[in-house]
Amino acid sequence: MSKGTLQTLERGIQVVGFVAEAANGLTMAQIAQKLGTHRTIAYRIVATLEEHGLVSRPGDNRVYLGSGVLTLANSYLPQIRRIAQPVLAELATETDTTAFLAVAQGDAFSVIASADANTGGLQIGYRIGGSHPIHQSAVGITILAGRPPVPGEPEAVSDARAKGYSLTTGQLHPGATGLACPLFTGALEASVGIVTMGDLDGDRCAAIVKRHVAELAQRLAPETDP
């Protein structure tokens, strides 16, 4: 593959990223400016992405994400779930809780994988695919904490960013305590957490969750050539 082809591929990936970050889409001029290229080149890149359904131009001269991105995402999440499941199982057993992985979806988060401890005790089940407000519970708080600080953000988010975890009680289930840590993969906004009825030793459990988060992040990291 030629250097020029690689550069075109890189620019195409950049365009998808730019458009994903723009809630109201981008004009062709804005895309060209972000790429640092002539508008003609930006047009060619966008046209190729549009052919593959990764972006769309519905008629208002702005570029938006296309349905092909959703297809890729739907294929990606099962792969993450498969990689995460053994890590969550180990975390659940070590903490005697229900462990889970959640990802951000706009102003909400969705649990995509969970595991219960094999102790026979009372467990709190999470419905896979269930959506919850992102400002609610330790999970959403840590996802927000993984983002850059914003003026007026809740104190719980600032505290979670400083400590590296969030601990909440009764926000999703009465009497349940949850603890979560952000998962940084570069590909998605995510959080790994545990939940149980009763209390949790915050510092001890946070250290355990962080260790498993680091392991999961390593498993999800793309392999590099030696």
Domain assignment of residue 112, yes or no: yes
Q: Kindly state whether residues 77 and 171 are assigned to the same domain.
A: yes
Grade residue 223 by pLDDT with cuts at 50, 70 and 90: very low
Domain assignment of residue 225, yes or no: no
pLDDT (0 to 100) of residue 74: 74
Grade residue 187 by pLDDT with cuts at 50, 70 and 90: low
Mean pLDDT of the chain: 86
**Residue 205 is part of a domain; what is its CATH number?**
3.30.450.40
**Boundaries of domain holding 112:** 70-220
Residue 173 has pLDDT above 50, yes or no: yes
Query: DSSP for the chain?
Result: --HHHHHHHHHHHHHHHHHHH-TT-EEHHHHHHHHTS-HHHHHHHHHHHHHTTSEE--SSSEEEE-HHHHHHHHHHHHHHHHHHHHHHHHHHHHHTSEEEEEEEETTEEEEEEEEE-TTSS------TT-EEETTSHHHHHHHHHTSPP-TT--HHHHHHHHHS-EEEESSSSTTEEEEEEEEE-SS-EEEEEEEEES---HHHHHHHHHHHHHHHHHHHSPP---
Q: Kindly state whether residues 184 and 80 are assigned to the same domain.
A: yes
pLDDT (0 to 100) of residue 179: 96
pLDDT (0 to 100) of residue 226: 41
Q: How far apart are CA 180 and CA 102, in angstroms?
A: 10
pLDDT in tens, 96-149: 999 999 988 778 888 899 999 876 555 666 667 778 888 888 999 999 998 888
Over residues 175-182, mean pLDDT: 92
Residue 54 has pLDDT above 70, yes or no: yes
pLDDT (0 to 100) of residue 225: 42
Q: Kindly state whether residues 82 and 182 are assigned to the same domain.
A: yes
Number of domains in the chain: 2
pTM of the predicted model over 0.85: no
Q: Kindly state whether residues 102 and 158 are assigned to the same domain.
A: yes
pLDDT (0 to 100) of residue 61: 80
